[in-house]
């Protein structure tokens, strides 16, 4: 009976009246905004997938490319209630059929999808200011967690890929975690708390005016778990790893370019830094090499430090100069087997925030290895064997890598594995003691030899006797005075 214009008008007025009296307001977040994909829609979808309060019996499941996990979300026309700082938000996934295919450069899906957010009018300002940012942040976290970690390397000698990128990446699937890492539990807890503080510390770094980065120096003998620790850090925080091969970098500017192409939430690693490059002289360590390689007419050219070779100052700029601040939330990890070879400039505080010594296997670390490799707890091992293991492990100075080799070899026969380990530790301890005794004997002999030579030498011997007499006279004088 009523013409469409009139029906539309009545609907519009009744909607206005309804909105006027309603205490709620609504936001529509459509999947496609004009012709572009709406990032907020994807973020909301991911965010809601983390909500445990999905009530519907139908849940949508997805698995993204390069992802090792499933995400679930609200099914069509399902709804859920979320709460944020005491404010309630009602979400509904609205799916309708697209009326007619409108003209578009890009074919649109038949369904029109979107989220409808219903909140109290009084909460509108707060929700717009904080809640949506929180939703996006959480969605990014979930995306990162679901996606495989990537391991980047620059080992192509400075050449770029087809996209002009200097880093090459592969999926990173190292299984090492802090649970599998054998080290002193208190040290491990301290490090994990430090990493968590760093990852959650955006506000702290902002208020203190510090760049959001942290440096760790891992040092210790080979096979004590430095590389495993880096993998555990990446898996714990969900960060990608950039394995920087310094020997492939020729100039400081190349180093800067590499840094600029790293992403936030990543760990930049330089392994065996003492072997990577000659870093003993901070200013111009490679001057000689530079003059050897550069043509005579080019000798006065070049930028900082000659601009033709990587220097320690270039590396220091990389870690804590202005360049280190392009991007944020980055961790630098250097590893070395010989900390004494490193330049003190690299070790001063503020540069490497934490120095972590990866030591030979201790008893607490051994217990972790026994649990992980053989599934044996303290109660599963005979008391006297356990006591002896505790007694010998420190003196044997075996690395976790050596111990895990022994355990892997016999892992089918757990009892045998433990006994073999005990034998290996005893042998190693005896070997260490024998070497120590040999060194002691050698030192003693050398001392005796030196004494003999001194006494035999007329000049030195005479001096020694004279000094003794002088000393005695002084002593006598002191006694008389007293
Ligand atoms: N602390 C540890 N906890 C658990 N496993 C370890 C530990 N240390 C070493 N391993 C085992 O030994 C292997 C070698 O260890 P890793 O490469 O991490 O040592 P590293 O200190 O980095 O050695 P290098 O200095 O030679 O690079 C690892 O694959 C791991 O299985």
pLDDT digits (tens, 9 = 90+) for 84-119: 888 899 999 888 876 655 555 556 666 788 999 999
Query: What is the structure's pLDDT at 456?
Result: 72
Bigger pLDDT: 302 vs 313: 313
Please, which pLDDT band fits residue 300 given cuts at 50, 70 and 90? very low
Residue 454 structure tokens: 């001194």
Measured from the CA of 361, which atom of ligand 1 is nearest?
Answer: 1
Residue 125: how many CB atoms within 10 A of its CB?
A: 9
**CA 148, 268, 261, 156 torsion-angle sign:** negative
Alpha carbon of 357 to ligand 1 centroid (Å): 13
Query: What is the structure's pLDDT at 64?
Result: 66
Kindly tell me if the per-residue pLDDT of 308 is higher than 60: no
Q: In the predicted model, what is the mean pLDDT of the chain?
A: 80
Please, which pLDDT band fits residue 318 given cuts at 50, 70 and 90? confident
CB 106 within 8 A of CB 32: no
Burial (CB count <10 Å: 0-12, 13-18, 19+), residue 458:
exposed
Q: Which CATH class is domain 150-357?
A: alpha beta
CB 151 within 8 A of CB 241: yes
Alpha carbon of 176 to ligand 1 centroid (Å): 10
Q: 74 has which bridge partners? A: 59
Tell me how far apart the alpha carbons of residues 219 and 208 are, in angstroms, rounded to a whole number: 29
**Overall size of the chain counted in residues:** 482
Q: Outline where 358-399 has alpha helix (H).
A: 363-374, 383-396
How would you list the strands of the sheet with 87-97, edge to edge? 24-30, 111-120, 87-97, 79-84
CB 370 within 8 A of CB 376: yes
Q: What average pLDDT score do residues 476-481 get?
A: 67
Strands 87-97 and 79-84: antiparallel
Please, which pLDDT band fits residue 160 given cuts at 50, 70 and 90? low
Strands 330-336 and 213-219: parallel
Tell me how far apart the alpha carbons of residues 160 and 98 are, in angstroms, rounded to a whole number: 45
Alpha carbon of 336 to ligand 1 centroid (Å): 13
Kindly tell me if the per-residue pLDDT of 290 is higher than 60: no
Kindly tell me if the per-residue pLDDT of 297 is higher than 70: no
Query: What is the structure's pLDDT at 57?
Result: 62
Task: For residue range 2-50, list pLDDT tens digits in order.
Answer: 888 898 999 999 988 888 888 888 899 988 877 677 888 988 988 887 7
Query: What is the structure's pLDDT at 282?
Result: 43
Q: What average pLDDT score do residues 226-249 get?
A: 91
Kindly tell me if the per-residue pLDDT of 241 is higher than 50: yes
Tell me how far apart the alpha carbons of residues 364 and 185 are, in angstroms, rounded to a whole number: 7
Bigger pLDDT: 38 vs 52: 38
Please, which pLDDT band fits residue 157 given cuts at 50, 70 and 90? low
Tell me how far apart the alpha carbons of residues 73 and 42 are, in angstroms, rounded to a whole number: 11
Pocket residues for ligand 1 (CB within 6 Å)? Answer: 180-183, 222-228, 337, 358, 400-401, 404
Q: 30 has which bridge partners? A: 114
What SS3 class is residue 270? Answer: strand
Residue whose CA is closest, atom 8 of ligand 1?
225
Tell me how far apart the alpha carbons of residues 384 and 324 are, in angstroms, rounded to a whole number: 53
159-167 long-range CB contacts below 8 Å, 24 or more apart? 165/261, 166/257, 166/258, 166/261, 167/242, 167/258, 167/261, 167/262
Tell me how far apart the alpha carbons of residues 183 and 321 are, in angstroms, rounded to a whole number: 33
CB 139 within 8 A of CB 42: yes
Alpha carbon of 277 to ligand 1 centroid (Å): 23
CA distances, 266 to each of 48, 201, 324 (Å) = 26, 15, 13
Report the phi/psi class of residue 402: left, alpha or beta, with left for phi > 0 and alpha for psi in -120 to 50.
alpha
Residue whose CA is closest, atom 16 of ligand 1?
225
Query: What is the structure's pLDDT at 301?
Result: 35
Measured from the CA of 220, which atom of ligand 1 is nearest?
Answer: 21
Give the whole-number percent of the chain exceeding pLDDT 90. Answer: 26
Task: For residue range 342-368, list pLDDT tens digits in order.
Answer: 888 777 766 788 999 999 999 999 999
Measured from the CA of 218, which atom of ligand 1 is nearest?
Answer: 21
Residue 464: how many CB atoms within 10 A of its CB?
A: 14
Q: Inter-axis angle of helices 312-320 and 252-260, to 10 degrees? A: 20
Tell me how far apart the alpha carbons of residues 369 and 361 are, in angstroms, rounded to a whole number: 10
CB 313 within 8 A of CB 305: yes
Least Cα distance to 191 among 372, 364, 358, 356 occurs for: 356
Query: What is the structure's pLDDT at 32?
Result: 81
Kindly tell me if the per-residue pLDDT of 129 is higher than 80: yes
Alpha carbon of 31 to ligand 1 centroid (Å): 47
Residue 187 structure tokens: 């040290």
Q: Report residue 285: phi and psi, to 5°.
A: -70, -30
Alpha carbon of 222 to ligand 1 centroid (Å): 7
Ordered by start, the domain boundaries in the chain are 4-147, 150-357, 363-450
What percentage of the chain's residues is helix, strand, coil (to nearest 5)? 50, 20, 30
Question: Any idea which of 45-49, 144-148, 228-232 has the lowest mean pLDDT?
Answer: 144-148
Kindly tell me if the per-residue pLDDT of 329 is higher than 70: yes
Residue 373 structure tokens: 């490799």
Residue whose CA is closest, atom 26 of ligand 1?
222
Tell me how far apart the alpha carbons of residues 69 and 243 are, in angstroms, rounded to a whole number: 25
Tell me how far apart the alpha carbons of residues 346 and 353 are, in angstroms, rounded to a whole number: 11
Least Cα distance to 89 among 46, 53, 61 occurs for: 53
């Amino acid at each position: 009976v009523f013409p469409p214009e009139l029906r539309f008008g009545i609907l519009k007025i009744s909607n206005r009246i309804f909105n006027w009296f309603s205490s709620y307001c609504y936001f529509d977040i459509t999947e496609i905004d004009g012709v572009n994909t709406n990032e907020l829609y994807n973020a909301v979808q991911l965010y809601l997938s983390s909500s445990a309060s999905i009530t519907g019996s139908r849940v949508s499941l997805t698995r993204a490319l390069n992802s090792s996990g499933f995400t679930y979300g609200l099914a069509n026309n399902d709804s859920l209630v979320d709460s944020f700082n005491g404010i309630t938000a009602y979400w509904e996934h609205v799916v309708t059929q697209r009326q007619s295919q409108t003209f578009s450069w890009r074919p649109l899906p038949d369904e029109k999808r979107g989220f409808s957010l219903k909140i109290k009018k009084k909460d509108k300002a707060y929700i717009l200011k904080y809640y949506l940012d929180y939703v996006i942040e959480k969605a990014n976290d979930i995306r990162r967690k679901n996606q495989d970690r990537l391991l980047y390397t620059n080992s192509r000698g400075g050449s770029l890929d087809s996209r002009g990128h200097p880093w090459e990446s592969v999926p990173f699937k190292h299984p090492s975690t802090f649970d599998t890492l054998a080290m002193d539990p208190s040290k491990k807890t301290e490090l994990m708390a430090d990493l968590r503080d760093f990852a959650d510390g955006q506000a702290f770094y902002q208020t203190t005016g510090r760049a959001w980065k942290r440096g760790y120096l891992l040092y210790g003998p080979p096979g004590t778990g430095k590389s495993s620790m880096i993998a555990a850090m990446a898996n714990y925080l969900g960060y990608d790893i950039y394995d920087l091969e310094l020997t492939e970098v020729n100039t400081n500017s190349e180093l800067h370019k590499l840094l600029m192409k790293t992403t936030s939430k990543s760990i930049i690693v330089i392994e065996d830094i003492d072997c990577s490059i000659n870093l003993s002289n901070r200013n111009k360590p490679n001057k000689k090499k530079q003059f050897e390689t550069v043509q005579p007419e080019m000798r006065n050219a070049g930028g900082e430090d000659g601009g033709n070779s990587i220097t320690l100052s270039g590396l220091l700029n990389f870690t804590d100069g202005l360049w280190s601040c392009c991007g944020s939330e980055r961790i630098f990890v250097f590893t070395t087997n010989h900390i004494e070879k490193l330049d003190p400039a690299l070790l001063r505080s503020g540069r490497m925030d934490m120095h972590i010594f990866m030591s030979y296997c201790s008893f607490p670390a051994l217990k972790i290895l026994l649990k992980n490799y053989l599934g044996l707890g303290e109660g599963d091992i005979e008391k006297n064997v356990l006591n002896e293991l505790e007694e010998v492990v420190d003196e044997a100075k075996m690395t976790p890598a050596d111990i895990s080799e022994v355990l892997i070899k016999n892992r089918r026969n757990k009892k045998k594995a433990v006994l073999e380990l005990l034998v290996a530790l005893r042998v190693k301890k005896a070997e260490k003691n024998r070497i120590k005794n040999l060194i002691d004997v050698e030192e003693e002999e050398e001392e005796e030899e030196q004494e003999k030579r001194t006494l035999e030498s007329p000049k030195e011997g005479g001096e020694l006797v004279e000094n003794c007499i002088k000393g005695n006279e002084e002593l006598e004088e002191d006694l008389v005075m007293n």
